Structure 1
Amino acid sequence: MDMIINTASEYLWGYFLTYGLLAAGAYFTLRLGFLQLRHAGEMIRTLASAKGVGREEGGISPFQALSISLASRVGTGNIVGVAVALYLGGAGAIFWMWVVAFLGMATSFAESTLAQLYKTRSEDGSYRGGPEFYIARGLGLPWLGKVFAVLFIFTGLVFGAVQSNSIAGAMNGAFAVSPLVTGLVVSGLVAIVVLGGMSRIAVVAEFVVPFMAGVYVLVTLVVAVMNAGQLPGILGDIVSGAFGLNEAAGGAAGSMTAALMNGVRRGLFSNEAGLGTAPHIAASATPNPHHPAAQGFVQALSVFIDTIVVCTATAILILTSGVMGPDNTLNGVELTQAAFNAHLGGMGPTFVAAAIFLFAGTTIFSSYAFCENAAAILFGSNPMVQLGLKLVIIATTFGGALQAVALVFGLADVFMASLASINLVVILLLSGTVRAMAQDYVTQRKTHTPRLDLNAFPQLRGKVDQEVWGTRSDRG
Structure 2
Amino acid sequence: MDQLLDRVLTVNDQFWQWGIIPLIVVVSLLYLALTRGVQFRLLGQMFRGLREDPGDLPDGTRNISAFQAFAVSSAARVGTGNIVGVSTAIALGGPGAVFWMWLMALVVAGAAFAESTLAQVYKERTPAGGFKGGPAYYMKHGLGLPWMGVVFSVILIFTYPFSFNMVQANTFTAAVNESLDGMGVAVGDASSLVIGIVLAAVTAAVIFGGLKRIAHVTQVAVPFMALVYLAIGTAVVAINADRLPEAVASIFNSAFGIEQFAGATLGTVIMMGVRRGMFSNEGGMGSAPNAGATAAVSHPVKQGLTQAFGVYFDTLFLCSISALIILTTDPVYGDADVNLVTRGVEASLGGWALHIMALILVLFTFTSVVGNYYYGQSSIEYMTERPAVINGLRVIVVALVFLGSVASLDTVWSFADVTMGLMATVNLIALLGLTGVAVKVLRDYDKQRKAGLDPVFTRESVPGLKGMQVWEPETEAAVPVRD
Q: TM-score, normalised by structure 2?
A: 0.91
Counterpart position of 2:85 = 81
CA distance in structure 2 between the aligned counterparts of 1:223 and 1:299, rounded to whole angstroms: 29
Pick closer, same or farther for the CA change 1:424–1:456 going to 2, 3 Å. same
Pick closer, same or farther for the CA change 1:196–1:8 going to 2, 3 Å. farther
**Is 1:181 paired with 2:181?**
no
CA distance in structure 1 between the aligned counterparts of 2:410 and 2:83, rounded to whole angstroms: 16
Out of 343, 360, 363, the position equivalent to 1:338 is 343
**Is 1:204 paired with 2:217?**
yes
CA distance in structure 2 between the aligned counterparts of 1:389 and 1:212, rounded to whole angstroms: 28
Counterpart position of 2:417 = 413
**1:321-360 mapped onto 2 (5 Å cutoff):** 321-322=329-330, 324-325=331-332, 329=335, 331=337, 334-360=339-365
What amino acid sits opposite 1:421 in the alignment?
T
**Is 1:439 paired with 2:439?**
no
Matched residue SS, 2:296: coil
CA distance in structure 2 between the aligned counterparts of 1:464 and 1:370, rounded to whole angstroms: 22
CA apart distance, 1:124:
4.5
CA apart distance, 1:211:
0.7
Segments of 5+ residues of structure 2 without an aligned counterpart are 182-186, 476-483
Verify the 8 A CA contact 2:140 2:147 in the aligned structure 1. yes
Segments of 5+ residues of structure 1 without an aligned counterpart are none
CA distance in structure 2 between the aligned counterparts of 1:167 and 1:321, rounded to whole angstroms: 25
Counterpart position of 2:235 = 222
Q: What is the CA deviation profile of residues 271-327 of structure 1, one whole-angstrom value per residue up to 9, with x for unaligned ones?
A: 11111111011110001xx111110011011111111000000110011111x235x
Verify the 8 A CA contact 2:459 2:468 in the aligned structure 1. no
CA apart distance, 1:4:
4.5
Q: What is the CA deviation profile of residues 51-93 of structure 1, one whole-angstrom value per residue up to 9, with x for unaligned ones?
A: x543435841111011111111111110111111111211111
Structure number with higher helix proportion: 1
**1:198-277 mapped onto 2 (5 Å cutoff):** 198-247=211-260, 249-251=261-263, 254-277=264-287
Verify the 8 A CA contact 1:149 1:374 in the aligned structure 2. yes
What amino acid sits opposite 1:173 in the alignment?
E
CA apart distance, 1:258:
1.2
CA apart distance, 1:438:
1.1
CA apart distance, 1:228:
2.2
User: Which stretch shifts more, 86-95 or 225-234?
Assistant: 225-234
Pick closer, same or farther for the CA change 1:317–1:408 going to 2, 3 Å. farther
CA apart distance, 1:427:
0.5
What amino acid sits opposite 1:325 in the alignment?
V
**Is 1:281 paired with 2:286?**
no
CA distance in structure 1 between the aligned counterparts of 2:11 and 2:356, rounded to whole angstroms: 35
CA distance in structure 2 between the aligned counterparts of 1:85 and 1:54, rounded to whole angstroms: 43
CA distance in structure 1 between the aligned counterparts of 2:9 and 2:423, rounded to whole angstroms: 17
Q: What is the CA deviation profile of residues 11-35 of structure 1, one whole-angstrom value per residue up to 9, with x for unaligned ones?
A: 3212211222222222211211111
Out of 38, 41, 46, the position equivalent to 1:43 is 46
Counterpart position of 1:450 = 455
Counterpart position of 1:303 = 311
CA distance in structure 2 between the aligned counterparts of 1:4 and 1:372, rounded to whole angstroms: 32
Out of 371, 375, 399, the position equivalent to 2:376 is 371
Q: What is the CA deviation profile of residues 377-409 of structure 1, one whole-angstrom value per residue up to 9, with x for unaligned ones?
A: 1112x1111110001111111122233353333
CA distance in structure 1 between the aligned counterparts of 2:87 and 2:194, rounded to whole angstroms: 25
CA distance in structure 2 between the aligned counterparts of 1:97 and 1:330, rounded to whole angstroms: 17
Matched residue SS, 1:17: helix
CA apart distance, 1:455:
2.2
CA distance in structure 1 between the aligned counterparts of 2:320 and 2:100, rounded to whole angstroms: 12
CA distance in structure 2 between the aligned counterparts of 1:81 and 1:448, rounded to whole angstroms: 42
Verify the 8 A CA contact 1:71 1:366 in the aligned structure 2. yes
What amino acid sits opposite 2:335 in the alignment?
T
**Is 1:54 paired with 2:48?**
no
Matched residue SS, 1:454: coil
What amino acid sits opposite 1:21 in the alignment?
I
User: Which stretch shifts more, 310-319 or 149-158?
Assistant: 149-158
**1:111-190 mapped onto 2 (5 Å cutoff):** 111-156=115-160, 157-176=162-181, 177-178=187-188, 179-190=192-203
Pairwise CA RMSD: 1.9
What amino acid sits opposite 1:169 in the alignment?
A
Counterpart position of 1:399 = 403
**Is 1:469 paired with 2:481?**
no
What amino acid sits opposite 1:338 in the alignment?
R
CA apart distance, 1:226:
2.4
User: Which stretch shifts more, 59-68 or 167-176?
Assistant: 167-176
CA distance in structure 2 between the aligned counterparts of 1:358 and 1:15, rounded to whole angstroms: 35
CA apart distance, 1:175:
2.4
Count of matched residue positions in the alignment of Structure 1 and Structure 2: 460
What amino acid sits opposite 1:31 in the alignment?
L
